Structure 1
Amino acid sequence: MNAQETPKITIITPTYNRAHTLPRVFESLKKQTFRDFKWLIMDDGSTDDTASLVEVFRENSSFEIEYYSQSNRHKFLTVLDGIKKVVSKYHMVVDSDDAYPDDSLEVLYNEAEQIKNQDDYIAVMGLSADEEGNIVGDRYPNDGFDGSILEMRYKYKVRGDKFGIFITSSYHKQIEGKDYSLYEGKGYIPQSVIFNEYDAKGIKTRFVNKVVRYYLMDTEDAESVSNTRWTGKNIFGLMEGHLSFLNSYRKKLLGYPKALLRNIIGFQYYALKNKISFSKIIISPKDGVIRLLGMLLFPFSFLYNKIK
C-alpha cells in the first residue's frame, strides 16, 4: 500500500506499559494475509520503553505504523481518541496482549464487505479462542445471524469474549457530539456504555462463527485490564456499565427479567460502593418501571453490599 493512500482498515491498539506484550501483536499483524491496513498505536502514558520499541517495529514493518503518546486517560478514552482519528472504511480495536489468526483481517473484511446496507450496521463480530484453540464461550446460533447484542447475550444465551471489525462511518455517527468527559480519571470504563446505546437503537451487528482472535490470559501481568477491572479503583465504571444497560434498553428488558434484576442490583451495589445517595440511586434509571423495581430491590442490594 502506498503511504499516501487511505488503508481499508485501521488497527487501533491502546497500550499502557505493555512493551513486553506488544511484540505478540506485531508478529500477528506481520503474518496477516490481508495487507491493506494501518496500525495506530495509542500510548496511554507508558513509562516503559514502548516508544523505542515502536521505532524497532517501524524498521521491520511493511505496513504503516502511527504512534501517539498522551497522558494517562485509561483505556476507554484512549480507544475513543484513536477511533476519532480513523479515516479508513473499517477499524478494529486490537488489544496490546493478544494474538490473531493469520487470516483474521481477511475474514472480517470480507464479511463486512458482504453487508449491502452498511448504514444499518455497525460491526461484524467473530469468535475468540484460547491458547489451545478452544472456543471461548459459545458459538452463535443458526451458523451466525444478523441482529442485536441483547439478543445474542440474552435470547440466545451466547457467552464468552467476542471480537470483530467496526464500520467507521456508523461508529462515528454514534459518538459524534457526545461528551465523555464524565469518565476522565475514573479508571476502567466498559466499552458497553457505547455498545448498549447503539445496540438499543437497532443498529445491527453481524455475528459469524469464525475464530478471529486468540484470547490470552496473562495472569501474572499486573497491568492487564483483565486482571484489574474488578478492583476498587474501577467501581465507578462498573456502576456506569450497569446503568448504561438499564437506560439504553429500558422496557426491552421486561422480556429478560433475570438480566433486568441482575443489572438493577449490580447498579445499586456499585452505586453504594461509590457512596451515591439513596435518592440518586433510585432516580438514575430513566424508566419509571425500572425505578419502581429499584425501590423494591434496594434492601437486597443494601444487604448484598454489607455482606460483600
Structure 2
Amino acid sequence: MQKITIITPTYNRAKTLPKVFESLLKQSFKDFKWIILDDGSTDNTSKVVENFQLMNPFFEIVYIKDKNRHKFLTVLEGIKMVKTPYFMVVDSDDTYPENALETLISEVEKIENPDDYIAVMGLSADENGSLVGDPYPNGGFDGSIFEMRYLHRVRGDKFGIFITQSYHREISGKDYSHYEGKGYIPQSVIFNGYDAKGVKTRFMNKVVRFYLKDEDDAASVSNTRWSGKNLFGLAEGHLSFLNSYGNQLFSYPKPLLRNLVGYQTYALKSGRGIFKIIADVKNPWIKVLGILTFPFSLIYQKIQ
C-alpha cells in the first residue's frame, strides 16, 4: 500500500494541472497515489487527466468527476476516501520542490506519538524562490496553529502533510451537509476545532511548496470577497474561530475584535438576522462583546 495520498481538487484548471503532474513526476519520494477530484469542470480537464494516465507514470492516478460542490465539500469527500497513513491536499496550480514529499514524510514519521498530532507544516515560496510570509520561530516547533499565528505572529501561506488516522478521528460523526450549496467554505471550520482541542501540529522551516498567486483568477476568494457566493463561508470562518477558541481570545484582543466584527459584517451582508448572529456565538462574554460591537459592524457592512 502507498504511504501518501495526494488529493487535488480542481475546477476548470486544465491549463495548470500539467504543472502539478510534472512536479509529481520529479518527486524523489515515489510511494504515493494521486486522486484528482473534478468539481464539475466545463473545460477539457477530463482529457488532460486521461493523457496523464496514458503516460503510465510510476504513481496511480484516480480521476473522479462530480457536480460542482465547491472546494470544501469536494476535499472533504476526498479525505474520507483516503486509506494511506498520510495525505496531502495539493492545489491544481502550484508546484513543489523535488524533495517536498521526501522531506514531509521523513519529518512526520519522526513523530513518536502520532495520535497527539494531526500534521506537519512546512513553508511556501513564490516562483522566484522567495519565502512567502515568515519562517517559524526557534527553528520550528510543535504546538498549535493559534500559537503559531497569534503568539509568534507568523504570516503567509503554509503547506504540509496530514496524519490520516488523526484527521479521520476529528471529522468522524460531524455533519457538514449544511454547507451544501453555500459556495466557498474555509478549511478553518475544521482545523479551528481540532487545534483548539490541543491536537498538535509540527512546524518546520523547510520549503515544500512553490506558491503561485493568480491575480487574474476571477474565482479567487481574494478577488470576490464581497460577492454573494462567498459571504456565508467567510462569516462561518470567523464564527468557527470565535466558537473554537472562546475565552482564550481575551488574551489576544485584536484577533478577537477583528474576527468578531468580521463575523458580524459578513453575516449581515449574507442576510442573516441580528438575533441569529448574536445567538450563534457560544461564549457568553464574546456574545456580550458582540452586542457592543454591533453598531460598528452595521456601519462597516454598509460602506463595503
2:177 to 175, 178, 181: 181
When residues 83 and 212 of structure 1 are mapped into structure 2, their CA distance, relative to the original with a 3 A threshold, is same
Aligned partners of 1:137 and 1:160 also within 8 Å: yes
How many angstroms does 1:188 deviate by?
0.9
Separation in 1, partners of 2:216, 2:275: 41
Q: How many residues align?
A: 303
Secondary structure at the counterpart of residue 64 of structure 2: strand
Which digits, 9 at most, give the CA deviation of each residue in 1:31-51, with x for residues without a partner?
Answer: 000000000000111111111
* Letter of the 2:292 counterpart: L
Change in 2 beyond 3 A, CA 1:229/1:215: farther
Distance in 1, matches of 2:79 and 2:49, equals 20
Partner in structure 2 of residue 3 of structure 1: none
Counterpart residue identity of residue 120, structure 1: D
Q: Give SS of 1:14's match.
A: strand
Give the aligned CA root-mean-square deviation in angstroms: 1.1
Secondary structure of 1:88's partner?
A: coil
What's the secondary structure of 1:72's corresponding residue?
coil
TM-score normalized by structure 1?
0.96
Letter in 2 for 1:153: R
CA distance in 2, matches of 1:202, 1:262: 23
Aligned pairs for 1:52-91 (under 5 A) are 52-60=47-55, 61-91=57-87
2:2 to 4, 7, 14: 7
Q: Give the deviation of 1:210 after TM superposition.
A: 0.3
Matches within 5 A, 1:48-127: 48-60=43-55, 61-127=57-123
Asked if 1:303 corresponds to 2:296, the answer is no
Range with bigger deviation, 298-307 or 88-97: 298-307
2:80/2:168 contact within 8 Å kept? yes
Between the aligned residues of both structures, percent identity stands at 68
Amino acid at match of 2:244: S
Partner of residue 278, structure 2: 282
Shift of 1:223: 4.0
Gaps of 5+ in 1: 1-5
Deviation per residue, 1:136-189 (Å, 9 max, x gap): 010000000000000000000000000000000000001111110111111111
Does the 8 Å contact 2:228/2:270 carry over to 1? no
After superposition, residues 122-271 of structure 1 pair within 5 angstroms as 122-224=118-220, 227-228=223-224, 231-271=227-267
CA distance in structure 2 between the aligned counterparts of 1:57 and 1:14, rounded to whole angstroms: 16
Q: 1:192-247 CA distances to partner (integer Å, 9 max, x unpaired)?
A: 00010000000000000000000002222334455445533100000000000000
Match of 2:36 in 1: 41
Cα separation, partners in 2 of 1:226 and 1:81, compared to 1, 3 Å? farther
Aligned to 1:68, the other structure's residue is in SS state strand
Question: For residues 268 and 236 of structure 1, what CA distance do their matches in structure 2 show?
Answer: 11
- Helix, strand or coil: the match of 1:81? helix
- Structure 2 counterpart SS, 1:272: helix
Give 1:262 deviation, angstroms.
0.6
AA in 2 matched with 1:140: Y
Alignment match, 1:25: 20
Q: Normalising by structure 2, report the TM-score.
A: 0.98
Quickly say closer, same or farther: Cα 1:227–1:34, change in 2 above 3 A.
Answer: farther
